[in-house]
Amino acid sequence: MKLSEIYSKYEEVLSKGNIPYIRCEDCGYVFFYPRHLCPKCNSSKLEILVSTGRGKVYASTKVFRKNEVIGIYGIVELTEGFRVYCNFKSDVEIGDEVMMSSIKVGDKYKLLAEKVK
Amino acid sequence: MISGFASAIYKKYEGSAFELMADVVSSALDMAKMKKEEIDGLFITYLPGVFDGLAYPHFFTNQVSQYLGIRPKFAEVSDYGGASALAMLYRAYKAIRANEAENVLCIIGGKGSEIRLRGVTVDSMDKLHSGISLTPFDKFFRGLDEMNPISDYALVANRHKKVFKSTDEQRALIAVKQRFNAMNNERALYRDPLTVEEVLKSPIISEPLHLLEAVYPVDGFHAFIVSKRQSQLRDLDVLAYGEAHWPEIPAELNDIVYTPAIESSKRANFNLSKVDAFQLYDSFTITVMLQVEDIGLIEKGKGGLFFEENDTSYKGNLPINTGGGSLNVGQPAYMSGGVILEEALLQLNYMAKGHQVNDVNVVFLNGIGGWNRSHSVTLVLGEKK
């Protein structure tokens, strides 16, 4: 698979608000940040899947500029076993269960995580 | 091995980075009693924006040599951010020993104010200029609201708190202890006494990290001349060296609470009980806490306890960041490897006026670079055997 094909598929999934990821058919490694060869075993046998979007907070921080919160930034570990950077919609703690979605901001995608009540 | 060094640091320098750089190089040449024509090797580092606000200097080593009026046999950029200074010193040392050069000039610095005053950090230059890429995955990463590098280090600090039960007070204590060392250092920008309460009352930038736990990006340069010739300075040697690079975007690391210092220090493999002073990269308090753990001064997770139990002042049992570190000297151009290297040389040459450690023969340095803490360089300097 060419990187451009991965990007097309990613954009298709992300534009519907879902989270795509890649699974290596040879070594089983799962990852989000797109590469056309497995970063662990260099295999080209990769498949693009759609995550359930369910995960847990791995780390988070509330970011301030001049005492105003500009965002809550962090990392979520999805149930499928890969981690992504995201912004959180509200205060969270490490270990909290979240549901992920995505929105387009300019020409980039922002992954968002919301705490599951 | 080092025949001259110099620095100049300003909160805001009203002039060009090239001008300030050339003045600092002249001071280093003066100390080495050397003419600039004798420089035959060049190492420099830069980040987008730190040379007069420009994004990507083109054939950068040429521009530097053009301005300085030197014609080196080799000229290279070292691209490890905060760890560059230590890596270029080592590469220069190797070049001298291999007879590839006689006198190698190493330059670190630039103008942090150019970026600071535009309300971004060096890790968000893509918000100022189009055509800048920070990762191969920017489309899926750079749409986020963050303030890297501090927000990414804040993630580590929060995870360290959760996993190892370290506290905000313990990190604040690192800032307090470094300030004590800065109080009599004429090079330090910040010299007033500081308490844990004051650190914790300072504004939160990215929780849990406070303003007084973070370096202030300033304008300045350090220059070091590595030579074969004898000089008025103590004849030093590289006693140990190691580097390690973990390029992963931290979401893909096994565990973000570890830094590549754990590997670079293992590669250097130096007996820490023989060290008289440590200079550990201090972009943030948490950076120092991680390094005391990762270089093996204390077991993983107990970095906070380490600072409660040890006197890390220049008079203490384990002197660390003896001039106050870049938290107090300032961080020129978002890379303060020059600050810790200069402090090591001041200590080893008994030139650390007001903060001299007694009987210094061995200094252990560790530099960390990159918003994602990807580069670590461990360097041990001491008397030539």
Instruction: Report ipTM (2 d.p.).
Output: 0.97
Same domain, A29 and A60: no
Under an 8 Å CB criterion, which residues of B touch A? 135-147, 151, 154-159, 162, 203-209, 249-252, 256
User: For residue B201, what pLDDT is reported?
Assistant: 98
Give the burial class of A114: count Cβ atoms within 10 A of its Cβ; 0-12 exposed, 13-18 middle, 19 or more buried. middle
Please check the confidence at residue B114 and state whether its pLDDT lies above 90. Answer: no
User: For residue B129, what pLDDT is reported?
Assistant: 79
User: For residue B56, what pLDDT is reported?
Assistant: 67
User: For residue B255, what pLDDT is reported?
Assistant: 97
Give the range of the structural domain holding residue A104, as residue numbers without chain letter: 54-115
With a CB cutoff of 8 Å and minimum separation 6, the contacts of A8 are none
Out of A35-39, B43-47, B116-120, B380-384, which region has the weakest mean confidence (pLDDT)? B116-120
Same domain, A34 and A69: no
| CB-based contact A62 B142, cutoff 8 Å | no
| CB-based contact B145 A70, cutoff 8 Å | yes
Same domain, A29 and A82: no
Q: Are B188 and B54 in contact (CB under 8 A)?
A: no
Chain A with chain B: Cβ pairs closer than 8 A: 104
Same domain, A46 and A60: no
Q: State the average pLDDT for chain B.
A: 96
**Whole-Å CA distances, B224 to A22, B352, B382:** 47, 17, 16
Residue B243 pLDDT grade (very low, low, confident, very high; cuts 50, 70, 90): very high
Residue B78 pLDDT grade (very low, low, confident, very high; cuts 50, 70, 90): very high
Q: State the average pLDDT for chain A.
A: 97
Same domain, A62 and A111: yes
Of A16, A14, A32, nearest in space to A24 by CA: A32
Give how far the C-alpha of residue B49 lies from the chain's centroid of Cα atoms, to the nearest Å: 18
CA distance B83 to B79: 8
**Structural domains in chain B plus CATH codes:** 2-117+221-227 (3.40.47.10)
Same domain, A111 and A58: yes
Same domain, A58 and A105: yes
Out of B53-62, B84-93, B339-348, B354-363, which region has the weakest mean confidence (pLDDT)? B53-62
| CB-based contact B144 A94, cutoff 8 Å | no
DSSP3 helix / strand / coil % (chain A, rounded to 5): 10, 50, 40
Same domain, A35 and A66: no
**Which backbone phi and psi does B92 adopt, to 5 degrees?**
-65, -45
Residue A33's domain is classified under what CATH number? 2.20.28
Please check the confidence at residue A73 and state whether its pLDDT lies above 90. Answer: yes
Number of domains in chain A: 2
Which residues of chain A does B120 touch, with a Cβ-Cβ cutoff of 8 Å?
none
